[in-house]
A and B are shown apart, each in its own frame.
Chain A
Amino acid sequence: MKDDVKILAIESSCDETSAAVVVNGRKVLSNIIYSQIEIHTVYGGVVPEIASRKHVEKINQVIRAALEEAKCTLDDIDAVAVTYGPGLVGALLVGLGAAKAISYAKKLPLIGVHHIEGHIAANFIEYPELEPPFMCLVVSGGHTHLVRVKDYGSFDILGITRDDAAGEAFDKVARAIGLGYPGGPKLDKLAKEGNPDAIVFPKAKISDSEFDFSFSGLKSAVLNYINQAQMRGETIRTADVAASFQKAVTEVLTEHAVWAAKRFDMDKLALAGGVASNSALRAAMDQACKKENIHLYYPSPLLCTDNAAMIGAAGYYEYKKGIRHGWDLNAVPNLKLGE
């Protein structure tokens, strides 16, 4: 029992204030998430200053709730893990400030965790048997990364987006067809009523890289389609636009991810990040992976969103490697994976 490592994890990189208690990187005792989505909806997107203010108001309650649900006190905790980037700097600083103060006051080791590493580690929580190496596609509102996970905490970034993140394209197209914020889940729902083959949108190919992505061209094509239809006075079937756009995005993501797995001879492929709960992406991946005999992993929707449990999972493996951060740890809004 003494070998168990209980980590208090804190995440505040965007618009979710979250704290969790995780044992040995895999077992989640609690995962409290306070979402600010409703507050930001009237602005059509996350307002950094408002997000930061809300984090300050909620941070202690969320941490306290996480400890309570895990039926433990700070005296039972072995280390504190916290997201220190990438993300909104003002938002990151709140979770980081509280995490540093708690670990300092309780003389606990402090482990700064990369937000994307956390998303990848969400799969460790969902699948106790999953171990590196594997290929991972991280897709969210802020990130589109194709990552080769070589070992715990050891990554090669094979491809990234050259412009918009996949989730960002979802949000922008959703806004254009009047769905509002947050666009991803709303567009996913609407697309179910549409015909994905109604409109053929271009799939962006990057000539000098086999794994990089580009979504701004696709996004513009969708916006142009809507504008031209409006100029001609035609009414568009928004469900068809949503379904066709979604198909174009998921096809590119699936092709790249499956090709990367084959290219590096891996039979395991994981999805991570908010867009990993998109139903069309999951279906396309399921189908493609079955065909290629690749085992597909994806976390449940709750673990796909920003949450502290995933930070606790990633933090555990950093802890095991002996990673410790000092009291001068700063938030790094554009932190690169593997730094």
Chain B
Amino acid sequence: MRILGFDSSGLVASVAVVEEDSLIAEYTMNHKKTHSQTLLPMLDEMLAMAEISLDTIDGLAIAAGPGSFTGLRIGSATVKGLALALDIPVIPVPTLEALAYNLWGSDGLICPIMDARRNQVYTGCYSFDQNEKLIMEMDQIPMDMEELIALLNRKGRKVIFLGDGVVPYRKKIVDGMKIPYTFAPAHMNRQRAASVAVCGCIRFRQGYYENGDDHKPVYLRVSQAERERSEREKENRHDTTAAGDK
């Protein structure tokens, strides 16, 4: 079984091929060029180097969100196009679960954080049990950093932080954490398509895949226009109730 992995959820662009329990190739760039310019050329170059034909691929694993809305859509549109042309399924993998998988087998709580702007991070909490199975302790969610730190302090287990959210929030973490914690090193602290592909293999075997036509990213947030509209509606409802009370 050969699975292609894709991650374009953040600044990193990454593609990988995993076959059973070996990683055949992985190409990761943490550079400013847009994913629209990098993702497909990277795939092309990687497959050429690895002498792999697209016809031999069984499934397309994608970091399905959360992440940068535009980044997610570039990845999503790409795998959807490939799925349609190759007639193979898409395997959506939660971005934060794939990030946690970078630290497979670690003790303690794995806490990936992605910068979500508006003073928030996309985060989740994961651990590995005695059978080396990934346990989701807290599902992925957008959260204020202060709230996350308070929550981790309450849990009281040693935490490993990773993800691009570490950069803007390092000081807050250092100042706020009252329990032991570490930061993951460079080779495992960003999105990696190899992790996406490995998680994709597991999900594929379990039957968690979909037709590319139905695939869409998981944003975890509505658009600004929708948010403002529902806030306005809430206010209006509030106004009418208040008026009715009089």
Contact = CB atoms under 8 A, between A and B. Distances in A.
Interface of A: 42-43, 47, 49-50, 52-53, 56-57, 59-61, 63-64, 74, 89-90, 93-102, 104-106, 326-331
A272 B216 CA distance: 34
B28 interface: no
Given A56-B80, A60-B80, 14 more contacts: A53-B69, A56-B76, A56-B77, A60-B81, A60-B212, A64-B213, A90-B70, A93-B36, A93-B70, A94-B73, A97-B36, A97-B77, A98-B81, A102-B84
A104 B54 CA distance: 10
Contact of B41 (A63, A89, A97, A326): A326
Contacts of A327: 40-41, 44
A100 to B, nearest CB: 5
Interface string B201-231: 0000000000011001101000111100100
Nearest to B211: A60
B17 interface: no
Contact of B78 (A57, A97, A326, A330): A97
Contacts of A326: 41
B69 A98 contact: no
B223 A47 contact: yes
B22 interface: no
A331 B54 contact: no
B134 interface: no
Contacts of B213: 60-61, 64
Contacts of B80: 56, 59-60, 97-98, 101
B82 interface: yes
A52 B74 CA distance: 11
A105 B54 contact: yes
Contacts of B217: 56
Contacts of A56: 73, 76-77, 80, 216-217
A328 B212 contact: no
Interface in B116-169: none
Contact of B37 (A47, A52, A53, A328): A328
A49 to B, nearest CB: 4
A154 to B, nearest CB: 27
A93 B73 CA distance: 8
B3 interface: no
A238 B28 CA distance: 59
B69 A90 contact: yes
B85 interface: yes
Interface in B55-80: 69-70, 73-74, 76-80
Interface string B222-246: 0111100100000000000000000
B81 A47 contact: no
Contacts of B78: 97-98, 100-101
A79 to B, nearest CB: 14
14 contacts: A42-B229, A52-B73, A60-B84, A90-B69, A93-B74, A94-B73, A96-B77, A97-B36, A97-B78, A99-B81, A102-B82, A104-B82, A327-B41, A328-B38
A330 B36 contact: yes
A83 B59 CA distance: 28
B174 interface: no
B77 A59 contact: yes
Contacts of A74: 84-85
Given A60-B213, A94-B77, A105 B37 contact: no
Nearest to B44: A327
B82 to A, nearest CB: 5
Contact of A104 (B40, B77, B219, B224): B40
A47 B216 contact: no
Given A63-B84, A330-B34, A57 B73 contact: no
A145 B194 CA distance: 48
Contacts of B43: 104
A248 to B, nearest CB: 32
Contacts of A105: 54, 81-82, 85-86
Interface string B30-51: 0000101110110110000000
